[in-house]
Structure 1
């Protein structure tokens, strides 16, 4: 697991405070695709439980897995008591119990690609659903986005996570849908986008940046310089484009 993948625990409280939660439309999208009641779910890399809450509050029995002790402690403060929590990286989960839904919220790209889909398949009931969702949080105003890019440029060329399999941004099917289509374990791969626009203060936006791995792995002195440089170019409030790209696939009965 990379340094960037393990960088979040130090900012667990900020992650909970500044990262946006997930809308009801996401739950509806997953359940409509499932086409039948989903009673059990396992989350890969649950973080502070933003997605856990979406399902658990609607009656799904969720097992939330997360390798970082600080993130898991924050999750336990915010999710219903019925949520089962397991401190484990995805690669350390052992097949045994299977679930109607296995999902990852802005976390799948941190998992080891070797054997990824056979491990996922071992956790999903035949006919069950795998879901992955997330997406970059961007400034909606191109001029403000450009000003921020210039402000961070001396320290950071980009704050985005590149496509794990090199799929170009303009392609119709994005990762992980590309890998799911090639996997012997899954069928009926679908991709959709839930549009989301948010308004937040400049300070909260910088708080959000402080939870993004590209900033977290900078040396502390550089990190503080980047944040102050960005603050200087932001208006008092900013509009955020935080669209959620959803990938869904169904576990084949036989590979």
Structure 2
């Protein structure tokens, strides 16, 4: 996950935030203000923005010190622990809410559900949410995918709402629910390319592949008339850690 530290500032400015309805949905599911909230892999605080309004003491766990530094600038009242989720020690009695925004895939697949369950107090709430970036125009989607495949044919997308299935199938949580929020996000070429430069698959490629990919997208946006309209799908998955 340390690939993002080098682009922490760009990440903060380019990534879209989360709808405020996520705050309301967590409060309604939990049954009111929780005693405490822990956010796993908080990054620069995109998810933190909708967790602070929950009105509870908030701890953010973030392994990259550069991301954590940007997070501390934005949220000076939040307690930050610079460590991985796997090395972090939950509070005595467990957290009221454990949240993870667009980072569930960075946690160990073999242990993340069990660790999350153990980190929560009895009756506590798991809240995992994230964006899926698609295109409002199918022709734009097809053109972008073809351009990126020409640069690297190994790239693969995860299934839609894959983390909902992951949480259900591991069976650690009861009353698992899913809510989906959608909005169109028009971006000019500068903002679109800045966003693309913050994605993990881009950052994991060689400098030459990065250059070729951005050049191909630059030409495409010109062909689109200078604007890309994203279909931004935000999924929230909620689960309860009932006493066992």
Number of residues paired by the alignment? 240
Contact preservation (8 Å) 1:185, 1:252:
no
Does the C-alpha gap of structure 1 residues 160 and 40 become closer, same or farther in structure 2, counting only changes over 3 Å? farther
Partner secondary structure for residue 240 of structure 2: strand
Task: Indicate yes or no: 2:207 matched with 1:220.
Answer: yes
1:42 to 38, 41, 54: 38
Deviations 1:6-63 (A, max 9, x none): 3111111111010001111111111111122224110110011011122214523211
1:132 aligns with 2:128: yes
Matched with 2:78 is 83
1:64 aligns with 2:96: no
Contact 1:39 1:59 in 2 (8 A): no
Residue 130 of structure 1 contacts residue 250 of structure 1 at CA under 8 Å; is this kept in 2? yes
Match of 1:242 in 2: 232
- Among candidates 75, 85, 92, match of residue 87 of structure 2: 92
For 1:184 and 1:223, the matched residues in 2 are separated by 39
Q: 1:247 and 1:158 mapped to 2: Cα distance?
A: 29
- Cα deviations across residues 138-173 of structure 1 (Å, max 9, x unaligned)? 22111112222222222234755425xxxxx5xxxx
**Number of the residue aligned with 1:209:** 196
How big is the alpha-carbon RMSD for the aligned residues of Structure 1 and Structure 2? 1.8
Give unmatched runs, 5+ long, in structure 1.
Answer: 164-168
User: CA 1:36 to 1:141, structure 2 compared with 1: closer, same or farther past 3 Å?
Assistant: same
Change (3 A) 1:185 1:145: closer
Aligned partner of 1:7 in structure 2 is 3
**Residues 176 and 117 of structure 1, relative CA distance in 2, 3 Å threshold:** same
- What does 1:114-193 correspond to in 2, within 5 Å? 114-157=110-153, 161-163=157-159, 169=160, 174-193=161-180
Say if 1:192 and 1:246, in contact at 8 Å, map to a contact too.
yes
**Runs of 4+ more than 3 Å apart:** 157-161, 182-185
Tell me, which stretches of 5 or more residues in structure 2 are unaligned?
A: none
1:253 corresponding residue in structure 2:
243
Equivalent-residue separation in structure 1 for 2:170 and 2:84 (angstroms): 22
**TM-score, normalised with respect to structure 1:** 0.88
User: TM-score scaled to structure 2, two decimals?
Assistant: 0.91
Shift of 1:184: 4.8
